[in-house]
Chains A and B, each alone.
Chain A
C-alpha cells in the first residue's frame, strides 16, 4: 500500500483557482436585504436615550428587544450580549442592525440614529482581574529558599490580528419555520447552538451551513456566533433573506484579536543551574471574558517550554478592559508563553555564561519526564535528532559564532517548542463529545459526515484521502461536502489542532468498521469520542495530563538588521516538525510555511495597538502582514513519530508552526544587535531604542 504521506492534488484546487468556489459574499438571493451595524461611539457608559429617524418602508431596526431567547452568546464563558441593551463596555460595541434593500439608505439611517450616553471613565490598565489561576509543580515557590541567585525578567507580547483575507460574514434566510445561516465559519455547531439559545428555538428550527472559508486562524472560531445570532434574530423577525458582510475596516476594528500578554519570570539558580521557575502571566481579555480563561490555561501549561523544570510556581490573571474583546488565534496562548520562556531560558544561559544551545539541550524534555502539571510525556521525544538536523542544514553553529562579532548586523536564532494537541484537559470528553458518521450509499460511495471545516488547511482533501486509503477506494468514491448541520453530526469545532487527530481518528475507527461490513449495500457507522484511559486531568487544580499528545518543532531563522534604519530582513528559515505522521506531506508543508510566516511576523512585523480603546491600525495599509517580498526562503523537514490514537499516527499540525516563530526571530535579532530582547513585535523603533543604550 502507498505511503499515505505521499501528496495528491488537492480536491478543491480546480474550483479555487478558477474563481468558481463560492464564498459567503458571492451568494445573492431573490429579495435579499442588507444589514449594517449601528455601534457605540464611546468605550464605557450607559445608553440613556435613542432617537430614531422615520424609517422608509421596507427598512427595519433589529435590537435587543427582538431577541426572543437569551440575549447572550453561548460559549465557554457567557458574557457577550447579542445586542447591547444598556451598558457599553467597548468602543464600537454592536447596538442594533439596520436592515433594508439599499445600502446607501442604511448608511443614511445609521447616521441619523442619535444615541445619548452617560459616559464613564474607561479602564485600560490591567487592574480588573476576572479570572486568576495558580498551580505548583514540585516544591513550587519554596524552591526559591534554596536558590543562591535569582534571575528575573519580564516579557511582553502585543496584539495580533488574524487578518484572514476574507472578512467575516453571513447570509441568513427563512425556510418555513427554520432559520438558516450560511457563513464563513470554523465551527458550525458553535453557531447553531448559540442561535438556538438566542432565538429560544427548537434544535430542528436552526440550520447552519458552511460557505467556503477564506482564512480563519481562530478569528472565525467564536466571533461568528455573535454576528450569526444577530442575523438570525433579524431573519426570524423580518422573514426575508439578509446578508451581513463586514468590510475590512469594520472587521479590524471590532473582531477578536490575539490577547496581549505580560509574563514576569523568576528563576531560582543554584550551582549555576535552574532549580525552579516562578511565572506570572497577565493577559488582556478586552471587554468580555469569552474564551480568555482557556487561553490563559494554555499559556500557563506551557510555562517551562520545551524544557523540564522540576519545581514551578505558576499563576496568571485575565484582566478585563474597555477594549475590543480578544479571542481565539492559532496557538491560543501558547505563542505568548513560548516566546517568553524560550527567551528567558536563553537569557539565563547568557547571564550564567553558558553556551545557550548546550544549556537548552541539557534541559530538553525527554520521554517519561513530567509535564508542568505532573502529567507524563509518554511518547518518544525526537527533539535531539530534530535539533541536529536543523543545525546541520542551516550551519547554525558556525553562523552563531561568526555573527556574534560586533558590527556585522547578521543574526541567527533558534526556537524549541511543542504544542499540546486537541482541547485542553477533559474538554473533548466533557464538553465536545464529538460524533462522526460514515455512510455508504447504494452507488458504493462513502459519505463523510462531520462538522469539520476546510478553511484552507486542506481537510477536504486529507479526510477523503484518509477514508479512501483505509477502504481502498478511489478518492472520487469518497464524498465530503461543506458541513450543513441538517446533515452532519456535531464532531466539534475546527480548532485546537484537533481535526485530524481527534475527528480523523474517529473517522478512521468508523472506516475500520465499515470495511469489515463492506458487503452490506447501504449503511451508516457512527463513532463517538472515547477518552484514552490514561488521560486524567484535574482542571481545577491543574494536575495530570492536559493533552493526549504533543507535536514538536524547531525553527531556525537568519536575519540581517540595517544599522541605519533598524529594519529587519528575514533571509532564510529552517524548520523541523514532528506531527506524528503527515496525512499529506505537501499540505503539512503548506501549513508549516504559513504558520511560520504568521509566527515570524508576530515577532517582528505586526504592530497593533489601541488609543483610548480604538484600534489604530484599522486596515491592511496600516496593519502590516508580510508580502511575498518579506518572507525569506523556507526549508522544512518532517520527522515521523506515529501516535497510537491518531489516524496513521497523525498528531496536531495547524497551530504548531506558528508557535516558535516569535522566539526564533527575536533571538536572531538579538544575535545581530547583541542586545537582549524582552518584547514582541521587535520593531525598528524598539531596535533603535535598544541600540541607543550602548
Chain B
C-alpha cells in the first residue's frame, strides 16, 4: 500500500513541478511571442495599407458585414484591412485589401488562390485608388471575367464594410435580389416566385413582364415602377389613374394573344437556324432558333463541344424585333456564356433588318456573337418567306 502511494505521489509531484516550471516560462515568453506575431501580421497588413500602424483585429460577428469578409483589422489612422474569401471561376481565392480613412483602396492582393488563370495575382493593382463610387467602372479582364468580377466584388464588399463599420447602412442586395424584392413588393400574393414573360406584342412603356409562378397575377415593369395585375389583367397596385389605364391596356393586349404553330417543314428555303415558328393572333411572329456559336464552330485551338445556343425571338410582321432572349446555351463559361446575359440579348429589342448588327459584341467571344447575330438575321428571312406564303 505504502509502495503504491509513493508511486502515485512521486509521479504527481513531478508533474506538478514540471507544470509550474512551464507556467513560469510561459509567463516570460508569451508576451514576446505575441509581440512577434503582431509584428508579422502588421508587416503583412502594411503591404496592402502602406503606412498603417497598430493594427487591431475586429470582431466581425458584431456587424452585419458582407458574407465574403472573413477578417477585418482597424488601424490607428482610421484605415482598415479586410480579408475576403470569394468564389471565382473555379474553387475561389482569398483577397486582402487595405482601405484608407478616405475610403480609397490602398492596395489589394491575392494571398491564396486555386483559380486556373493566374489573373487574380495581378488584378489587385488595377483596383488601387478605387472608391465605392468608382469601383464599378474598373474594367474586368477579358477571358477571365468571372475571376476578375469576383475580385472586384470582393473589394467592393470591403468598401461597403467600411461604411457599415462607420455606422452607415449599405444596400448589399445584388441586381437579382433587388428585382425579386421589387416584384414581391408589387405582388405579395406571388410568394416571391416569378418568371419572366416572353413578350410577343409591342407594348407601350413596358420594358418587362413577370408572371407569378402560382398564377396570382402579373407584374409589369414600366420605367422605374412595378405595377401588378391579377391573372385577368386587372391592375391591383396603387398607381395614378393614367398609369393604371395604360398598364390595363397593355395587359389586355398581351394576355388576349394566342399563338398557333406554323408548319415550317413545307418551306424548302427555311433557314436551318429556325427550329419552330408561331404566328400570333395579332399577326406577329415568334421563332425558336438555334445559333451556331463557339460550341459548334470552335476555333483552331479548341474542339467544339457540339452544343448550340437556343434562343427565342418575337417580331412584327413588318420585321421589327419585339423581344429576344436566350433560352439555353453551353458556350465557354465566363466568356461566351455572356450571351445568356439580358444585357446582351435585350440589345436586339426594337431592332430591324437595317440595324440589328449595331449591338455591342461580347468581349472576347466574337464567334459566339457572330453566331447569335446570324441566327437573329434569319428571323427577317423567315418572316419574308412566311409572308410570301400567306
- Bind each other: no
